[in-house]
Structure formats: structure tokens, C-alpha cells
């Protein structure tokens, strides 16, 4: 993903920046850097799905 895109993306839950991650199954994800939030958002067909309803706890427990 382009850097400038990631810079403007924020977690809809807490407003923290997101970092690139990768799920255990190899799919990309965006992980919230907020310590109290730490949700991960899926990336489908290269498009980040920044919906709290679609988020799941980060840390490999998909
Ligand atoms: Zn967050």
C-alpha cells in the first residue's frame, strides 16, 4: 500500500494510526497502534475495510 494512503488512515474506533500487518493465513491487514484498542482491520482486494463491525482483535487470533 502507498505510504501516503496509510498516513491518512486512522482507526475508526480510537483514531490511532494504523500499521501494516499480515495475518497468519497470509492476508494483509491494518493493525491499530492504539494500546487500548489494538483492533485489526481486513484488507480486501487491496482496499482497507475500516469498519469496527469488520474488525477483530490483533495478535494472530483470527
Ligand atoms: Zn483503534
Residue 37 vs residue 1, higher pLDDT: 37
- For ligand 1, the distance from its centroid to the CA atom of residue 25, given in whole angstroms, is 22
Taking phi over 0 as left and psi of -120 to 50 as alpha, with beta for the rest, 38 belongs to left
Residues 52, 42, 10, 56, CA torsion sign: positive
* Each residue's pLDDT tens digit, 4-35: 666 678 999 999 999 999 988 899 999 999 98
Distance 36 CA to ligand 1 centre (A): 7
Distance 21 CA to ligand 1 centre (A): 14
Query: What predicted TM-score, i.e. pTM, was given to this entire model?
Result: 0.79
- 20 CA distance to ligand 1 centroid (A)? 14
Contact call for residues 42 and 49 (beta carbons, < 8 A): yes
Give me ligand 1 centre to Cα 11, in Å.
5
Q: What is the DSSP string of 47-61?
A: EE---GGG-EESSS-
Handedness of CA 38, 41, 47, 53 (dihedral sign): negative
Amino acid at each position: 500500500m502507498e505510504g501516503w494512503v496509510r498516513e491518512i488512515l486512522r482507526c475508526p474506533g480510537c483514531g490511532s494510526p494504523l500499521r501494516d500487518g499480515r495475518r497468519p493465513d497470509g492476508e494483509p491487514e491494518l493493525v491499530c497502534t492504539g494500546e487500548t484498542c489494538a483492533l485489526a482491520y481486513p484488507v480486501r482486494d487491496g482496499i482497507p475495510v475500516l469498519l469496527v463491525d469488520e474488525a477483530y482483535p490483533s495478535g494472530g487470533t483470527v
